[in-house]
Amino acid sequence: MEGKLQLHRRIHEEENPELLGFPASSFGEDNELRSAQCLRCRVWREMKVFRGKQSSLLWRSLGFQRIGRSSKKYRAFRHRIHVVSPSGRFFIVDFSSFFGGKRWKEHISRFGSVSAAVGAMVGSVEVPCVGGDLSGKVEPLPEEISPEFLPLVIENEGVIEDGNEEIREVVLGKNVHTTCLAVTEPDADDEITGDREAYMASVLARYRKSLIERTRHHLGYPYNLDFDYGALAQLQHFSINNLGDPFIESNYGVHSRQFEVGVLDWFARLWEIEKNEYWGYITNCGTEGNLHGILVGREVFPDGILYASRESHYSVFKAARMYRMECVKVGTLLSGEIDCADFRTKLLQNRDKPAIINVNIGTTVKGAVDDLDLVIKTLEETGFKHEQFYIHCDGALFGLMMPFVKRAPKVSFKKPIGSVSVSGHKFVGCPMPCGVQITRLEHINALSRNVEYLASRDATIMGSRNGHAPIFLWYTLNRKGYGGFQKEVQKCLRNAHYLKDRLQDAGISAMLNELSSTVVFERPQDEEFVRRWQLACQGNIAHVVVMPNVTIEKIDDFMSELLHKRSSWFQNDKIQPPCVAGDIGEENCACGLHS
């Protein structure tokens, strides 16, 4: 029987790519062909370990990106592998006919030659990236790449509960290399013909049309898309950069610090801290606010332990990894709020070290608000003095809504907190990602440094910062004011209750926390429906975040389509809606057991 080493040599000796099962047109350059040949050899040499995460490392080591497979099992050579080559071409490698082991000789005999046997195993198709020519045409996907492969279940997420690891499959989106817009060199006569300008104008027009459609069906992520900043178009011709400390000018004169500090003063009043007692800046996103707040806490307490509930935003745990901090995950109540009984237990286990706590003013999935007063009380009752803990409040979305909700607990620097951050592109409605971070001035000296190059100081995470963002924030804060935001908050809460009631009236499991505009409900069975409405999902639940742009009409359209889809998902008694009592409580679950 021909061994693996001989097969390896035979493959390398092949010069005609079609003998390997690859149409010659699939390869633009020789080096890509060699990569494919080498890939075949590596596959054979590593056949016993070509599974799971190791398989991903194998493809990537050859410059290929593996994006999925048609089988959910990890058994070697029992499925197709979908890969994208270094140049962006899309290949399907079909190992479904592999026999392996002692039957390999029989497999070769059946096809007549090694080349034919390998060719039967390896098939490919080419999907060129959009923009390869000035026509801008998008080639349709061949039948082999059916929509069922996109998005693909390609990764497992481990969830550890009581020492046991529950493996949950995560559905990822489709690979953008299949639809990317290539950057090409201008032709010599482009300035004369105007073809390139016309092509780019058509691409942008199509993109704008897609944005309008996507905005119309946007429900799952907390972005306020109801804004108009036409008056600020006159400023887009300037490179505005607020590098360094917002309170100290640098030698770079094209900045917007006067707008930035005005915005910071507005938020300082909202969170009740005097001008001479706070420091802050406009960040590039909500994550940067969390990274900065936790960094300040770490600088104040270098040996401190970070405590965060399991439902905290992923950026909190990213900060712990970046700063090499010891991080303790605290359990949550069914609502998503931090479980202060579990928090107390874990504080007592680490009584000898300072505590750095992330408090959620609205969790990512359920919109739950941690009880800040109870968190502080728990710290005090377990023996932590105010100088032994640092609290960062992650108010990405609800940090700006809470002050306008009746009976809502107050986020205030009159309480022993260290920092608060919010996102500017969420409830405020800014067209670019940005955020606001406020901390106590007494804490910032540990981070701040003089920078001669700037003729300023810097305690930010990013050096250069978008100088347009403060202007957008200043503009909308001036237009709406406290009264305008209060009206928008009340509208969002009313519409959220309307959506929750419509879901429950239709027999769909749904939950809405008291201080939230995030409606949680059972996950739709159709991933295409999820993508169409851009729903955020986790396990068996999904959510809609009701923002000012989410109208009653949009909710009615969503419900009409959802109910129509459900009639096909659950058209017989064999398939029943999932039980989500473990996620949203028995009283909110409409499954056959709890309805």
* Catalytic residue positions, numbered: 516
- Ranges assigned E (strand) in 211-320: 278-283, 305-309
Q: Which residues contact 211 (CB under 8 A, 6 or more apart)?
A: none
The number of helices, as runs of H, and strands, as runs of E, in the chain is 17, 18
What is the distance between the alpha carbons of residues 319 and 322, in angstroms, rounded to a whole number? Answer: 5
Phi, psi of 209 (to 5 degrees): -60, -40
Task: Say how far apart CA 386 and CA 409 lie, in whole Å.
Answer: 20
Does the N-terminal peptide bond of residue 147 adopt cis geometry, omega within 30 degrees of 0?
no
CA nearest neighbour of 91 among 48, 136, 49, 149:
149
What's the CA gap between 319 and 314, in Å, rounded? Answer: 9
Q: Which residues, at least 6 apart from 201, have a Cβ–Cβ distance to it below 8 Å? A: none
Burial class (CB in 10 A: 0-12, 13-18, 19+), 409: middle
φ/ψ bin of 383: left (φ > 0), alpha (ψ from -120 to 50), beta (otherwise): left
Contacts of 166 (CB under 8 A, 6+ apart): 158, 159, 160
3-state DSSP assignment of residue 84: strand
DSSP 209-278: HHHHHHHHT--SS--------GGGGGGTTS--B--S-TTS--S-----HHHHHHHHHHHHHHTT--GGGE
Contact present, 505 and 568 (Cβ < 8 Å): no
In sequence order, the β-bridge partners of residue 518 are 545
What does the block give as tokens for 240? 């505005």
- Take residue 277 and report the two structure tokens written for it: 């007692």
Q: What secondary structure letter does DSSP report for 431?
A: S
How many CB atoms lie under 10 A from the CB of residue 465? 25
The DSSP H or E segment spanning 564 is: helix 552-569
Record the tokens describing residue 204, joined without a space.
């942008």
Give the count of alpha carbons within 13 A of 453, CB side only. 6
* C-alpha to C-alpha distances, 132 to 136, 183, 185, nearest whole angstrom: 7, 8, 10
CA torsion angle 301 305 306 307 (round to 10): -130
**In terms of Cα–Cα distance, which of 475, 447, 473 is closest to 245?**
447
Are residues 499 and 493 in contact, defined by beta-carbon separation less than 8 angstroms? Answer: no
CA distance 8 to 251: 63
Other beta carbons within 10 angstroms of residue 402's beta carbon come to 22
Amino acid 420 reads V
At 116, which helix (H) or strand (E)? helix 114-121
* Cβ partners under 8 Å of residue 379, min gap 6: 347, 355, 357, 389
Other Cβ atoms closer than 10 A to 169 = 11
